[in-house]
Structure 1
Amino acid sequence: MTQPLMPMATAVWLIDNTTLTFRQIAKFCGLHDLEVQGIADGTVGQSIVGIDPTTNGQLTWEEIRRCEADPDAELRLAEGAKPMATRTKGPRYTPVSKRQDKPDAIAWLLRHHPELSDAQISRLVGTTKPTIQAIRERTHWNMANIRPLDPVALGLCKQQELDEAVQKAAARLARRGGTSGDAGDASPEETSGPVS
């Protein structure tokens, strides 16, 4: 179950304005029963101002009355109050301190996973296709200083993301019968050689 916005403030308001049990409030707000009891006793969250969940559409009075009548019932968020799904697609912010590591990660991916397409590398590391192509062709402006380093160790992507990308690339190669048409124009010999 999803929690209301500002669960502690919501719990304070529910304690002050309803006859709901501590268990019901704790379950709805995602808190422990003793934490809610501490809020009611004044030992926890003394300076927290209560927020009315009915004014911002998270709860309805009918739902509160239903649960006040039945101590075993659980409060449910109003349908319109459910938070939107978190955004997972698209570019991620890369801190300035890690941006210099991107060419190293690209070189590592080209060496150890030549089956990955430019688009997959671009998504994993957060870079552009021209940068990938320049490193593949060894024409990158900083080629002398590029050392292949694992992008997971550099913190540019997660191991799970890398594993999923490699599995997708392997499945794509299997469907095509072993040709690496999407991986670029370079042959495996060119990409598996040392990058210095």
Structure 2
Amino acid sequence: MTGLTIFMFVLSALLILMACIKADRVRSWRESVNPSAPDIPDAAFTVARIVLVVMAVVNVVLGFRGLAAQDTMDWSDEELTSAVEGATEALDGDVMYGDSLGTDSQADLDGDYARKVEDEIVEHGGGDAPGFGVDAAVVGRAMTDRARYRITASGAGKAFCMHVERTHDGYIETVAPGLSGDAAAVKLPKYTFEVSTRAGEC
């Protein structure tokens, strides 16, 4: 997209230069190439200049629109930095619950939580940032209670390292839907997350 925009700006400059060429110079060049060719009236040069200028203006407008479209499709370093800072603040101290069977699927650091990190960063991206393109890749092997994520985004040159530590804070007792009495009491494991992020690779 950037290459096409640059080409359009260069083309616009060439069209303006062509519009500025004097009629006498064009006539002289044409006569040297084909002496028997009929003379070109001044009105034709006027029309040609108008067409060239209009084409140049159209290219400039399309070029700026292309830059605006690219800005909405790619993350800048500033947008990613702000989004990561906001997501880190929102995730730090967050509480999640596992299930009663002890599989902890809702607190999976290798899968579900990585997607949660990505969604949180996108949510804190702001109005100009794209709503996609964020990647939270687990660095190394996610442990039971801690993991590191390499945060990147399409278009941004920066990378961030997010460290997540999960602490088991006991259980919360709840009632299973559709049951009553002692059988309805279910204990869910409670986890608190400590999240910190720094710029650079993990």
TM-score with structure 1 setting the length: 0.26
Higher Cα radius of gyration: 2
Higher percent of residues as strand: 2
Higher percent of residues as helix: 1
